[in-house]
Amino acid sequence: MRFVAVIVDLEEFMLPCFSKQTFGIDCPGCGIQRSLALILHGEFIAAFKMYPAIYSLLFLFGFLIFNFFYTAKHANIIINSTAIITISLILVNYLLKFI
């Protein structure tokens, strides 16, 4: 039960978007914190709708950490492919915000 209380408290400490505060427009990273909070609350579909690149981003970071400790056979291909997919999702999502 303590873990749930910590998750709820984390939402109070989310950082505001500097770009949105300064220029009034979202940055490509807007929504990551809220999407992570939604995942921690178990709302996986809402997290994807908030920030579509969240799952590929989590996979990429998870694989990078795994590869740091255990070397995978085709690590470069996996990392490059996942990075391209993640960057593409971020850019497409960012462009769709303006439409």
**What does the pLDDT look like over 42-77, one tens digit per residue?**
999 999 999 999 999 999 999 999 999 998 899 999
Please list, in sequence order, all residues whose beta carbon lies within 8 angstroms of the beta carbon of residue 88, skipping any fewer than 6 positions away: none
User: Rounded to whole angstroms, how far apart are CA atoms 14 and 16?
Assistant: 6
Q: Which pLDDT does position 18 carry in this prediction?
A: 82
User: Rounded to whole angstroms, how far apart are CA atoms 48 and 97?
Assistant: 15
Count of domains forming the chain: 1
Give the mean pLDDT of the chain.
87
Q: Which pLDDT does position 4 carry in this prediction?
A: 54
Confidence band, pLDDT 50/70/90 cuts, at residue 81: very high
Q: Which of 10-14, 26-30, 92-96 has the lowest mean pLDDT?
A: 10-14
Predicted TM-score (pTM) of this structure: 0.80
Residue 94 has pLDDT above 60, yes or no: yes
Its domain, for residue 21, covers: 2-97
